Amino acid sequence: MTDTVSKEKRSEIMSRIQGGIARNRMERIVHNWLKAKHIKHTMNPKLEGSPDILLKDSGICVFIDGCFWHRCPLHYRRPKSNAEFWRRHIEETDARREEKRQKLPYGWVRIWEHDVKSGMYKRVLEPVTAKKRSGGFSKHIKKQTRAKTVNKEGG
C-alpha cells in the first residue's frame, strides 16, 4: 500500500508519536505516586539502558515503555506504510534494548504506557516497594505519634 502523504509530512507525523510530552507525563504520574508513598527514587538516572526511574532502596530500575515504540502485546499496530523499514527498525531497537537491560547492575521492571493510564502500574510497583515501605513508614508514624504524645502532655 502506498503512503497518501509526502515523505516530509510522514516524518513530521511520526516525530509527534508519543515520545516527549506523553512519556514525560507518564513518568510524572509514577513519580508523584512514589513521592506520595515516601519511596526514595531517582528520575532518569545515568545508567546503561537509560531507565526512567531507579528505586534507590530496592535497587530496581523501572522502565515506562510506550505501546508503539516498545511493541506492547495489547496495543501495538504495525505501520502499514514503509512496513519493511519499521519491522527491521523496531526489531533491531528491541534487540539492542534487551541487551542493555540484561547488563544492568540492578533488577528491572517494565510498566506499559496503558498501565500508567489505567493505574495498574501500582500493582506492578507495590511488591517491589512493599518491603521498604513497611520499614520507612513505621519510622515516620512513630515520629508523628511521639510528637502528638508530647503535645498532649505539654498541653
SS3 47: coil
In a domain, 2, yes or no: no
What span, in angstroms and rounded, lies between the C-alpha atoms of 84 and 104? Answer: 31
**Which grid coordinates belong to 72?**
506492547
Residues 6 or more apart whose Cβ sits within 8 Å of residue 33: 121, 122, 125
What span, in angstroms and rounded, lies between the C-alpha atoms of 37 and 34? Answer: 5
Residue 148 has pLDDT above 60, yes or no: no
For 78, the enclosing helix (H) or strand (E) is none
Residue 13 has pLDDT above 60, yes or no: yes
In a domain, 80, yes or no: yes
pLDDT at 94: 87
Q: What is the pLDDT of residues 130-140, one digit of tens each?
A: 765 444 433 33
What span, in angstroms and rounded, lies between the C-alpha atoms of 32 and 30? Answer: 5
What span, in angstroms and rounded, lies between the C-alpha atoms of 11 and 150? Answer: 65
Residue 101 has pLDDT above 90, yes or no: no
Average of per-residue pLDDT values in the chain: 77
Number of domains in the chain: 1
In a domain, 142, yes or no: yes
- CATH number of the domain to which 52 belongs: 3.40.960.10
Residue 87 has pLDDT above 50, yes or no: yes
In a domain, 1, yes or no: no
pLDDT at 137: 34
Give the domain extent around 61: 7-154
What span, in angstroms and rounded, lies between the C-alpha atoms of 13 and 18? Answer: 11
Average pLDDT of span 90-115? 89
